[in-house]
Structure 1
């Protein structure tokens, strides 16, 4: 089975691509960058550069694929100083992915969204799979475009009968190397403490979501490994339905 991974040159994508390779999926990697990570050359020759906000580029990448894992996202502080980039990537890019997936009859699309682990909320607040809360601070544009991304996905699923799974990770770190995406030690990391998820557990969730036998439907799952998250997010549902356990629960943090 062939899987398209968008945003495939990124830090989070590596663990997912390696897990796909181990599980014998044929992999197509799509990214806007021209800097191809060296490890990819050992995994796949299907590497396509293009723009997620250009429909023709998306179709060129997705043609012949059975599944899609949509990771492409506007990242970096400068991307969110003006709305053009996040709306082009997070919103229009998601529309493009789903429109082409519909046209090409892709079997299942997995979209990487976010869990609101950076929000200050009441300790007794319990977030279900359908709850959403955006930041009123500097993260609002990011949150807004992610919320729109999920609305687009739900519409495509309900309107066209598409099988779409939205994964909502917390703050993504590396629980094996004990670092964040910038290489900082988790010992020193305060951001979203209690809301972390290891990128290797995200990879495990992606494999489970791909293999899960489910009717044509729309589903969302919180992905937060930190033991504290069990009190406020429906993590038990994620583990039950996706038939997985989080290896990294960050008990020492």
Structure 2
């Protein structure tokens, strides 16, 4: 059995990648931080090791003996300055590139972000050729992922490494422990659900995991692939959530002007030294019609179509079983 190192295995996508890789008959080694909650990951047939992906020694030891690496770990907070994201999101990819080169790893698959590309409309969704949105340079998360992606593509061009970049859109499914994207679904389960203008490209997390593992042997080195699903407005998504939960809903669309004012207030509070989770940048991101195409990933990585109702139902069932609801 060929061995894969997976970083970020305790995360929402990381757990599904480990599970998918095992299902595709790979031996999986997962590196996690000390004191991480491995209660779900430990139920899978994988070897768990503890280490720091910003430590050269830990990364080198983890990559040693592996045929492939899937780098999923990241700092994903939507607030914070760029320097707060550099160690986990940028330094780690440099260390992994060096280790993969040293040990002649067959391929590295890097989990980037759809924020590294420009969104489109439902009629003309964003593609891998759309480029980075300059205004997102102010986002520590988006900018750090963009920097890491550029670093990896340069390493591929210099023939130092064989690597593929995958960029998931907004993932839906079970095992969202923290939760991350599941926060939006939980909001949609409330009796009164407030939603903003705009929308997202919703994708099944199991489909993302499947295409990511496929990328170990499919796709072209140095290429990026948007792992996208179905483009929906927030209102359309919340109606699907309500239908699958069989709960009566009152849906209220929040005017964009009110959200923009909230963002400005957040900016003011942050400038005064307060720890606030919203600002003008986040509000702008929230209100985007964040729509993307999956044509390239379907053709080259075998990305499956997202069945949104089953993905939503999987998430609802899991949240219910684990007392989130």
Task: Write the distance in 2 (CA, Å) between the matches of 1:176 and 1:43.
Answer: 13
Q: C-alpha distance in 2, partners of 1:150/1:238?
A: 17
Q: TM-score, normalised by structure 1?
A: 0.83
Aligned partners of 1:89, 1:6: CA distance in 2, in Å?
11
Q: Separation in 2 of the partners of 1:242 and 1:163?
A: 16
Q: In structure 2, what is the Cα distance between the partners aligned to 1:235 and 1:45?
A: 30
Aligned to 2:12: 11
- Cα separation, 2, equivalents of 1:49 and 1:28: 10
Q: Which moved more, 1:45-54 or 1:22-31?
A: 45-54
Higher helix share: 2
- Does residue 204 of the first structure (1) align with residue 210 of the second (2)? yes
Residue number in structure 2 paired with 1:106: 105
Report the counterpart of residue 292 of structure 2 in structure 1: 233
Mapped to 2, the partners of 1:84 and 1:124 lie a distance apart of 37
* 2:81 is aligned with 1:22: no
Contact 2:6–2:70 (Cα < 8 Å) also in 1: yes
1:183-202 mapped onto 2 (5 Å cutoff):
184=186, 190=195, 193-202=199-208
SS at match of 1:160: coil
**Inter-CA distance 233–176: structure 2 relative to 1 (3 Å threshold):** same
Structure-2 residue corresponding to 1:59: 60
Distance 1:107 1:176 in 2: 30
Inter-CA distance 121–189: structure 2 relative to 1 (3 Å threshold): farther
**Superposition deviation, residue 198 in structure 1:** 1.9
Deviations 1:80-139 (A, max 9, x none): 424333011111111111111111111011111111399776777653323323373797
Distance 1:8 1:81, change over 3 A: same
What is the Cα deviation at residue 181 of structure 1? 3.1
Gaps of 5+ in 2: 234-289, 313-325
Which residue of structure 1 lines up, in the alignment, with residue 260 of structure 2?
Answer: none
* 1:224 aligned residue: 228
Structure-2 separation of matches of 1:251 and 1:8: 24
1:163 matched residue in structure 2: 162
Alignment-derived partner of residue 86 in structure 2: 87
Which 4+ stretches in 1 moved above 4 angstroms?
117-126, 185-192, 249-253
Report how many aligned residue pairs link the two structures.
247
1:167 Cα offset (Å): 0.5
Following superposition, the deviation at residue 224 of structure 1 comes to 1.2
Please give the per-residue CA displacement for 1:157-208, whole angstroms capped at 9, x wherever unaligned. Answer: 111252211011112222799x943461556585773312221111111122
Determine which structure has more spread, i.e. the larger CA radius of gyration. Answer: 2
How far 1:250 sits from its partner (Å)?
A: 5.9
Q: TM-score, normalising length from structure 2?
A: 0.66
Relative distance call for 1:118 and 1:176 in structure 2 (3 A) is farther
Match 1:245 to one of 304, 307, 315: 304
- Structure 1 residue 22, shift from structure 2 partner: 1.3
Q: CA separation in 2, counterparts of 1:252 and 1:106?
A: 34
Relative to structure 1, the CA distance from residue 90 to residue 189 in structure 2 (aligned partners, 3 Å threshold; closer, same or farther) is farther
Alpha-carbon distance change, 118 to 194 in structure 1, aligned in 2, over 3 angstroms? farther
DSSP 3-state at the match of 1:69: strand
CA spacing shift, 1:189–1:2, aligned 2, 3 Å? farther
